[in-house]
Structure 1
């Protein structure tokens, strides 16, 4: 078996991961879809196993994920070598990172603002991929991102990890919705009749809050899905249901009275970590390392220790 690595085939893997289709990958690489398909078939023949699941959007087999991780690390190392050889930046470098929606809506954009503006000027890019904080590390494992903000407290094999801080979540509701509660306040039985806002089917924050508030892990909630962090808070302000959102995100609405805390003494602390693939020492000071440093610096200012 030929165990050499063809950079053109690896570049096709990255393009397929980023774009989700052979046609879009071909457009990015300035090739025909047939040429991309031929390169992938050659790569699969070389390793004697399928690498890509040809669905819509396409996916990768476990073996394909192994090569995809290598391909992204290879590109990152090549970009850093280009810089060290005298270029200010590798034009066209793209670094995908995974972030949870609530961090993206609150503190990640300000943290990356300077880097993003620099990238506009010199030609590199940071691609943000959104998933629940409990699942972003799966994208890191699969090779679709090079770094991620995650609630996972243990680094994956081959990755480094830095603690970012704690993002507390608070249950909030509109004053009109709270007026429907008994004078004594919210009880566990009220959650059977009042709607509770949930981001999506991966979101376990409302259940975590209900368990912490009432010690009942199997409470049945009247869930209403609102799959956008900004729209989630807006839905809570409009009285669509009880929301469990980051204190950082609802601070303004609490201050002006559009929202009120449901149980002020009960919060759900979510500790966030930055994970990234460990390349060599030089690459770690490259764009991926700068992204991690920027996130850590800003997180120290806005998240709880």
Structure 2
């Protein structure tokens, strides 16, 4: 059997980033936390925590903490069924998820809030990644569930369609006046500055290729923030593709202008969750599917 008191200490150190903050959460002294972690490492014959600012897990530590997270979620389910409270528990059960940035910025936060009202004792640890990469986070065991663009079900997962996120190519009126004063054509689109979320973001390039048959020049800015990405577009730094739910009111107010010919591609999104987890993940899944149905197209 694993030493779950020691695993609690390891998890707290990495969750909080230091032995001092972990000690405060656990109600112990830093020395006691350090002794638990060191003793566990000695019994296992391997290092679990890389000491630093912040502390990080080794590969072995990562494997054990994944196991610990799953156990805590299942214990939380069991405690709720038995109307029993583990008064010795000092760390909340945590569900780790991988979600793409556009979903977090638009609809997924509503699903998180609905779940939090149902299960206030469970915390969510959200990793933001490209929708094409979140399935790999699930496959590797880094997360317990994921919003992904992949419809290929993993053998141990249940994968359901959430709908499609519609995207709009748009720019500010001032940007349109400077770069598209003679109209939006293949030539002007090719030369106009545009924004990219990160190096994997080829959405703008695919749109320009599909609509105008051109290869775009250098982007005006790379910005890995959905909020800043929209703000820079509103301020006229470049044109870009945005989720329709995020910019719909800007298009209605005239703060943004859709680039002709109003070609709106869409991205299918899926929810993948392991079959064997308990009621907490089932409730989260229900909220995710319900909110997605309200925000995404069929």
- TM-score, L = length of structure 2: 0.83
Once residues 203 and 43 of structure 1 are traced to their aligned partners in structure 2, the CA distance between those partners, rounded to angstroms, is 43
Counterpart of 2:109 in structure 1 is: 109
Q: 1:19 to 1:211 in 2, by over 3 A?
A: farther
2:237 corresponds to: 240
Query: Which residue of structure 2 lines up, in the alignment, with residue 71 of structure 1?
Result: 68
Question: What is the SS of the residue equivalent to 1:222?
Answer: coil
Alignment pair present for 1:303 and 2:276: no
Measured at CA, do residues 304 and 55 of structure 1 come closer, stay the same or move farther in structure 2, by a change above 3 Å? Answer: farther
**Count of aligned pairs:** 294
The separation in 2 between residues aligned to 1:240 and 1:276, in whole angstroms, is 39
Q: How is 1:1-305 mapped onto 2 (pairs within 5 angstroms)? A: 4-87=1-84, 92-119=92-119, 123-141=121-139, 143-156=141-154, 158-179=156-177, 180-181=179-180, 183-187=182-186, 190-192=189-191, 194-214=192-212, 219-280=216-277, 283=278, 286-305=279-298
CA deviation map 1:159-212 (0-9, x unaligned): 3322211112221101221232263523266434x2212234454433443444
The secondary structure found in structure 1 opposite 2:73 is helix
Q: Is the 8 A contact 2:69 2:94 kept in 1?
A: no
Listed as ranges, the gaps of 5+ residues in structure 1 are none
Could you tell me how far 1:258 is from its partner in structure 2?
Answer: 1.2
User: How far, CA to CA, are the matches of 2:55 and 2:201 in structure 1?
Assistant: 25
User: Deviation of residue 252 (structure 1)?
Assistant: 0.8
What is the root-mean-square deviation in Å for CA atoms of aligned residues?
A: 3.0
Give 1:89 deviation, angstroms: 10
- Alignment partners' CA distance in 2, 1:35 and 1:137: 38
